[in-house]
């Protein structure tokens, strides 16, 4: 069932990226962060549109039952395969961390310090990266991650926050 949920989540993410075409600043920001995902999402959206058009054309051509049906049918199958491969590639290269959570992690990283404190064993950035890993491994839920990120930024000993959430 997780695979089906991943596919649905990927389609929603692809839709969000396509919606960003109307907001070029956000699209450019996402493109700088992950150009491969943006390219795969846009190619998946384009292939999906072409697939729908070709399937409709195939059905329309079947009404006339003439030679072009075979050509349009082959094109429809080809673009259906391309759509599947593009969505599959998007799912394969996408991280396990949702974009809204990734933004919170990135925000915490921007606020964090990379210099070790007096008695601390790890820096704030190292602690945030460790919390990110724990979240990706399903050891933390969204709420616990948010609380831990806040605690890391205010704690004198970030490693204690990480250890508390293990």
pLDDT digits (tens, 9 = 90+) for 125-165: 888 888 888 887 778 888 888 888 888 888 777 777 777 76
Query: What is the tens place of the pLDDT at every residue in 31-53?
Result: 787 788 878 888 888 898 999 89
pLDDT band of 25, cuts 50, 70, 90 = confident
d(CA 112, CA 110): 6
78, 93, 108: which is the final residue of a domain?
93
Domain shared by 26 and 75, yes or no: yes
Domain shared by 38 and 116, yes or no: no
pTM: 0.48
- What is the span of the domain harbouring residue 71? 2-93
38, 59, 93: which is the final residue of a domain?
93
Within 13 Å and on the Cβ side, how many CA atoms surround 84? 6
Q: How large is the average pLDDT for residues 58-64?
A: 72
């Amino acid at each position: 069932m997780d695979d089906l949920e991943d596919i649905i989540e990927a389609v929603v993410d692809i839709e969000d990226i396509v919606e960003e075409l109307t907001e070029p600043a956000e699209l450019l920001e996402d493109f700088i962060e992950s150009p491969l995902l943006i390219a795969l999402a846009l190619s998946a959206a384009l292939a999906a549109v072409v697939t729908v058009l070709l399937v409709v054309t195939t059905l329309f051509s079947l009404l006339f039952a003439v030679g072009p049906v075979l050509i349009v049918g082959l094109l429809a199958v080809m673009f259906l395969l391309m759509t599947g491969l593009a969505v599959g590639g998007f799912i394969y290269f996408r991280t396990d961390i949702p974009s809204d959570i990734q933004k919170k992690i990135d925000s915490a990283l921007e606020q964090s310090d990379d210099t070790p404190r007096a008695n601390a064993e790890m820096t704030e950035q190292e602690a945030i990266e460790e919390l990110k890993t724990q979240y990706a491994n399903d050891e933390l839920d969204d709420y616990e991650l948010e609380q831990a990120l806040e605690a890391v930024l205010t704690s004198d000993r970030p490693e204690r926050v990480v250890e508390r959430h293990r």
